Amino acid sequence: MTAAAAMAPGRRRRGVLRETWPLLPAMVLLLLVFVLPLLLILPESFTVDGKPTLAVYESIVGDGYYWSVIGRSFWISILSTLVCLVLGFPVAYYLVRLVAPSRKRWVYMIVIAPLFTSAVIRSLAWLVILGRRGIVNEGLLGLGLIDAPLRLLYNETAVVTGLVYIMIPFMVLTIAAVLENVDGSLEEAARDLGAGAFGTFCRVTFPLTLPGVLAGSFLVFALCLSSYVTPALLGGGRNKVMAMLIFEQFMRVFNWPLGAGIACVLLAVTLLIIWGYNRVLSRRAVGSRGEGEAML
């Protein structure tokens, strides 16, 4: 017999490294510049003056000020998410079901173009619109509806307005992605079976789109909760949110442990939301997105 003959099973199993080494540079970068720094935040928040302590978390929990900031962050994010949903759903429905195919591209462009500008620029636009001598005030003054400029900036409404403007594209695109996969003939079937237009929407279209609605809401909520630029520019110093506290502690007050502590709280909440988001997406098994893509 030739070289053939008996051989141990698995003898030729190639080493995992031999198959996966092209992954390594990116992986090393990720571990060193992403995983490691995130892991380092946690011990930072438990160390004051070189000694291990719970002081940071005690002060966060014990001080009503932090609770009020956390509460405001949540309130603003929930409100922004709901407004995004109410305004975003019709756009998604229009984009997938109603718009003429020739115009679809333009709708996509209008939805996506703002994403290509930074939050600073998009917030600036609202400073111009809502400012003391902004378009709204000038317009109302010009029409004689008011005598003195209204104070439209530096309050929670301004922050919500800015956040909604920034987040709507995410809501629209997430819902649209799900709606694309809902078979239009299901709606036809519902009509065929005697459902009215409104009934079809309530009983067929909307429930089938629910995963997209939930996913979009989770996504927008998480992004709102951690956004810094818009609240800082439109909210003013008296309407602080969590991200502003973190920035302040790290860059102005230089109380890094406290900043790290708040960052850990924010991170924990965000991870919880992502967990919910993934559960929604995987349980509903919304098709078309490839492996691993359900992550975001």
Q: Scan residues 196-215 and list those touching other proteins (CB under 8 A).
A: 196-198, 200-201, 205
What are the beta bridge partners of residue 51?
48
Q: Scan residues 98-117 and list those touching other proteins (CB under 8 A).
A: 98-101, 104-105, 107-117
Cβ closer to other proteins: 147 or 183?
183
CB 165 within 8 A of CB 81: no
Nearest-CA neighbor of 214 among 261, 279, 161? 279
Residue 285 found at the interface with other proteins (CB under 8 A): no
Contact pattern for other proteins over residues 149 through 168, marking x by CB under 8 A: ----------------x--x
Residue 148 found at the interface with other proteins (CB under 8 A): no
Cβ closer to other proteins: 17 or 64?
17
User: How many residues sit in the footprint of other proteins (CB under 8 A)?
Assistant: 122
Which of 29, 146, 253, 272 lies at the binding interface for other proteins (CB under 8 A)? 29
What the block records as the tokens of 193 is: 């079976």
Cβ closer to other proteins: 61 or 135?
135
What's the Cα-to-Cα distance from 149 to each of 140, 156, 161, rounded to whole Å?
8, 18, 18
Residue 44 found at the interface with other proteins (CB under 8 A): yes
Q: From 56-64, 65-73, 87-95, 208-216, give the range in contact with other proteins by CB under 8 A.
A: 87-95
Residue 36 found at the interface with other proteins (CB under 8 A): yes
Q: Are strands 51-52 and 47-48 parallel, antiparallel or unpaired?
A: antiparallel
The percent helix, strand, coil of the chain (3-state, each to 5) is 75, 0, 25
Helix (H) or strand (E) holding 47: strand 47-48
Q: Which phi and psi (to 5°) does residue 194 adopt?
A: 100, 5
Residue 12 found at the interface with other proteins (CB under 8 A): yes
